[in-house]
Every structure is written in structure tokens, then in C-alpha cells.
Structure 1
Amino acid sequence: IGETGLDFFRDYAPRELQEKAFRCHLDLAAETGLPVIIHNRAADERVLALVMESECRRGVFHCFSSDRNVAEQALALGFHVSFAGNITYKNTEEIREAALMIPSERLLVETDSPYLPPQSVRGRTNHPGHIGYTLELLADIRGEDAEELAAATVENAIQLFGGM
């Protein structure tokens, strides 16, 4: 279900309307057993509060851009955490610290195309072919083999989204 969630960075939509739609999507995900893809931009506290209020316990905090505390809470609620090209940018220590504590079996990697290309291709339109840059950085900071991490994240995606 989704991508759904809250974006308090730009506030293109009234926050009350965003929250109403997010609640509906969380309820739908809980009712159907489908995973929810959570968008969270500058809305950590409200996103976590609404997820905790819901019965939804399956999905992914996508394009993770928060800190270790938010990651810990997402994991405690049963969610996966996915990292995109923004983790390769300068001054992303908090995001990288969060990536270090995600268990391999709950980790995902993505591009968030066409946005947030990895640093080495920044300024270009992002596409799925750039996922390797993000994966390489994740493997490097976690001290893991990139091929093994790639295999793990593929298996995680199959476990989360497969068989739908």
C-alpha cells in the first residue's frame, strides 16, 4: 500500500489531510495484510505515532532520512528500513549511524528514482541503474561484502513483497 505517509518539509497538502489519508492507508494495509511503503519527511514524531496507533506492522520506512532512534522504533514496530542515494551525501552521519544498526534481514536499498541520485551522479536524473552506488556505500560503512549485502536485500524484498 502506498507510497503513503507524511511530508511536513514542503507542506504541499494540509497536515490534517495528510494524516487522514495516512491513517486510511495504514488501516487498509492492516486489513489486507499487504505491506505499506511509508514516506516520512520531517515528520518523525507524527509518523511513528500514527503507525503505533494503527494495527499495521508490515512494510518499509522508505528512503530513510531520520536518525537511529526512529530506525529503532521502526524496527520495533516490525518494519523494514530502506536507504536511497541520499545516504551518500555529505553531512548524513545520522542516516549512516542508523544504517549501521539495521539487521541485515530488515535492510532494503532503493533509488527513489527519479530523485536523490547518489553523490557520484548527483545532478543527473536518478534511475534504477544507480542502485549499486548506494549499495556499495552501505556495504562499506557496515563492513560487509557488497555482493552478499545485495543478495540479502533482494531476499528481504522477496520476503516482504513476494507472493502478493
Structure 2
Amino acid sequence: MEESLTHFNDQGRARMVDVSYKEATARVAVAQGKVTMAPETLSRIRDRSVSKGDVLAVAQIAGIQAAKRTSDWIPMCHPLPLTGVDIRFDDNGKDTLTITAEVKTTGKTGVEMEALTAVSAAALTVYDMCKALQKDMVIGSVSLLRKTGGKSGDYVISGE
């Protein structure tokens, strides 16, 4: 745990952290989330038979766009030149779609927020495109799986 909160100035007000003194390093973050739904909904997504179109193709683009625009969503996030964004989808063949985002940059701050935002936007897009089929889908378990690079070093969630 970090000893002080860096997003506050000496008056206790929010600030964007100054990273100008930091070295640029290669950074990677991987995040994951899940959308739980009825088996029929997952089957329609897999068969590409949802009336709004190819759900996973649209969700993939939404995730990439969200990663690129994270600083517009998260107030203290630095705008970053991303060097790569990959969104992957897996399912358990029953009722759960797993979304994984890997985001890369070479910069002075990490891309954890970009990976988390990408997963969240992709999951919300799945919900939006399938809500006519099912309104009680559940988006959850959004978490950082791992990150590399930077002063704080590498992080890998247990079991990853």
C-alpha cells in the first residue's frame, strides 16, 4: 500500500499527479470482466444472430475506443499515447462471457485505468446490444489481472 495519496495537493484538493520527472518505460496492463446472461442470449451472441448485429465486433471496437479516451472519463487520468489495445472474448459455453483487455504504452504512467475502462465499455456494449433479449444480464468481476512497468514494479493477481 502506498504511504500517501498522490492525487491531493497540500490543501487536500484534487490534482493531477505530475509525472514529468519520471522515466518513460514500457507498460502493459491486463484487465478482465464478466457478463452473466441466459444461455439463450450467449448462444445468440455466439451465433451472431442478435438483430443489432455482431455483438462482439461492436463491443471490441467500443473497448478500444474507450481505452483511447479514458482520460476523458476519469478526471485524474493522464491522456496517454497507447501503442496497443487488444480485446478478447471467451465464454464458458453456458452463461458467462469473459472480456479481457490488454493495453500497452511506452510512457511515464501506467495503463491500468485504460484496461479497466476498455473492459467496462465492452461489457456495457454487450448489454446495450442484447438488452432487448434480456434485461437482467449482470456485469461484474471487473478487475486488474496484471500490470508491468513503472516505479511500483509488476503486479499479478493470485492465480493469473
TM over 0.5: no
What TM-score does the superposition give when structure 2 sets the normalisation length? 0.27
Task: Pick 1 or 2: higher relative contact order, CA cutoff 8 A, min separation 6.
Answer: 2
Larger strand proportion, structure 1 or 2?
2
**TM-score (norm: length of structure 1):** 0.27
